[in-house]
Structure 1
Amino acid sequence: MDNTRLDRTGGSAGIAFVIATVVAALLTGKPPGPEASNQAVQRFFIDHHNQVVLQGWLYALATGLVIWFAVAVRRLLHTASAGRHLGDLFFVGTVAVAALSFVSMSIRIVAAGAAHELSASAVRAVGADFSLVLLALCGFIVALAATGYVGCVFSQAVLPRWTGWLAVIAAVVNVVGTFSVFLGGGPFSIEGGWGTLLPVAATGVWYLGTSVSLYRAHQTATRDPAG
């Protein structure tokens, strides 16, 4: 596959990844908050079984899309003066987060299927809290991937530098989001919503901006072959 096709398909995969994750996130509606009882969480998984399964399936699909996106971005990052290692750092970090998300969603599907047989506390711990904690702690890996990306984009504009600033914002928000594991309640706790929503949103905006820039990279190269 030539570089132009890889840029276009990688950019398209990144855009499709963002769309798939947004649709998946909206499928189940607002989950029970930190003040909800274990029984309420169990009832949520029972009542939304089909939506949780479809949500997990979409996230699994998104995993494949984001890996293809990461392959295309890595190719461009390897052309930067910062060298090959920072591009690999972005790639490995992105794939690691995608793989952990895949595992998290698989466990949620299993928990939803067995929610009527498990205890309410088990459903909450395995189906809800585990996936949320995993997502929060992935913030460190996202920040590491963003560091590799920023190192390449700022040293040599292989992609627009404003996407590098999106990566910086995503890194900061994701690291701050990891502190949600220390909060037992409130809107920024694990189950509060904002502690996970903001890091995911910041990462999604970064990926979307990069995907659009990647898709347009071949057009820029065509207009300015010397560049």
Structure 2
Amino acid sequence: MDVKLKFKLYRMSVWCGVVVVIANTLAFSVFGHLSPPVSPSDNAQQVADFLTEHRTGILWAVVTMGVFAPFFYPFAVITSLQMRRIEGGWGLLSMIQLTTAVVAPTGWVYPLAVLATAAYRPHRSPELMQLLSDQFWLTYVGVAVIFVINVAVIGLSALIDRRPEPVFPRWFGWLNLVLAAAFFPGVFVYVATDGPFAWDGLFTVLIPSIAFVVWKIAMIVVLLRAVKSEEREVLGQQTAVPAAA
């Protein structure tokens, strides 16, 4: 493949992360009115009323994420390709990152599809609508714990990099470890019905949501830098070979 085309595709893959952030914000906050979350203490009729009122937005939220969530895959692959440079080839960290990252689109689209099922027929029993709503929130918030490993291995790769020009800066490594810890409390939504560990709580939704935005912005910045540095290395090697000959 032509080198310029290759790195153009790399940069496009990084910018796919921006597409995902915009789509995620539109789907969950604008279309679906799911931010902030409904309260776990709402009764069946309150949940049914919410789903009925926002039915159209919720259905379009699923459509939006169904179209744009797959853009996360190029973003995940370019992340692993840069980690591969650190490991000198495909290794444990780059493969863990890639295999855990593939869960992300499903972790957004599948829970939303469950909520769309609840809203799809507005005259359904309120109790059934509440059941499906519960499944949405427990799955959507609870599955975030998977990204603890995903984000942590990215941070670890930055900290173990011994290249003269590191792929990722060391501050980025520490930031990822902190953000990984911020995603962990989401798993406690399964045992909490109120307070900071419920699905609308401080430690399960608010802090992880902020952490996700910070992580995504930081990832985009450092990945663009990493792709640029790799391009310089490759072009430098191509220049050096004819000169040596």
TM-score range, shorter chain: 0.7 to 0.9
Whether the 8 Å contact between 2:182 and 2:203 is mirrored in structure 1 is no
Do structure 1's residue 25 and structure 2's residue 28 form an aligned pair? yes
- 1:216 matched to 2:225: yes
Q: Look up the match of 1:169.
A: 178
| CA distance in structure 1 between the aligned counterparts of 2:10 and 2:87, rounded to whole angstroms | 19
How far apart, in 2, do the equivalents of 1:193 and 1:52 lie? 24
Residues 131-180 of structure 1, C-alpha deviations (whole Å, 9 max, x = no match): 22112332331011122212222111322333323321221111122223
Deviation at 1:92, TM superposition (A): 1.0
Tell me, in whole angstroms, the C-alpha distance in 2 between the residues paired with 1:193 and 1:25: 18
1:31, distance to aligned residue in structure 2 (A) = 4.4
What is the match of residue 8 of structure 1? 11
* Higher RCO, 1 vs 2 (CA within 8 Å, ≥6 residues apart): 1
Q: SS of the residue aligned with 1:52?
A: helix
Q: How does 1:82-121 map to 2 (within 5 A)?
A: 84-117=91-124, 119-121=125-127
- TM-score calculated relative to the size of structure 1: 0.86
Moved more, 136-145 or 76-85: 76-85
d(CA) in 2 for partners of 1:106, 1:35: 22
Secondary structure, aligned partner of 2:96:
helix
The 5 Å alignment of 1:20-169 reads 20-27=23-30, 28-29=32-33, 30-81=36-87, 84-117=91-124, 119-126=125-132, 128-156=133-161, 157-169=166-178
The structural deviation recorded for 1:186 is 2.9
Query: How far 1:181 moved relative to its partner?
Result: 2.3
Asked if the contact 2:167/2:226 (under 8 Å) is kept, the reply is no
* The 10-residue stretch of structure 1 (38-47 or 167-176) with the greater mean CA deviation from structure 2: 167-176
Cα deviation, residue 75, structure 1:
0.7
Structure 2 contact 40–194 (Cα < 8 Å) conserved:
yes
2:80 alignment partner, SS class: helix
Matched to 2:178, the amino acid is I
Cα distance in 1, alignment partners of residues 57 and 106 from structure 2:
21
In structure 2, give the amino acid aligned to 1:80. I
Larger Rg: 2
Deviations 1:57-103 (A, max 9, x none): 22223421111100111111111137522111111111113223221
Q: 2:101 is aligned with what amino acid?
A: T
CA distance in 1, matches of 2:23, 2:107: 17
Question: Which amino acid counterpart does residue 143 of structure 1 have in structure 2?
Answer: V
Partner AA of 1:23 in structure 2: L
The answer to whether the 8 Å contact 1:8/1:216 transfers is no
Q: What is the number of residues matched between the two proteins? A: 225
Structure 2 unaligned residues grouped into runs of 5+:
237-245
2:85 is paired with a residue whose SS is coil
Q: Is the 8 A contact 1:10 1:214 kept in 2?
A: no
RMSD: 2.5
Determine the C-alpha separation between the residues in 1 that align with 2:77 and 2:127: 40
Measure, in 2, the Cα distance between the counterparts of 1:204 and 1:161: 20
Moved more, 181-190 or 9-18: 181-190
How far apart, in 2, do the equivalents of 1:164 and 1:60 lie?
A: 31
Deviation at 1:209, TM superposition (A): 1.1
Name the % identity: 22
Give CA deviations for 1:114-147 in whole Å, capped at 9, x if unaligned: 2322x21221221x22122112332331011122
Determine the C-alpha separation between the residues in 1 that align with 2:77 and 2:230. 19
TM normalised by structure 2 equals 0.81
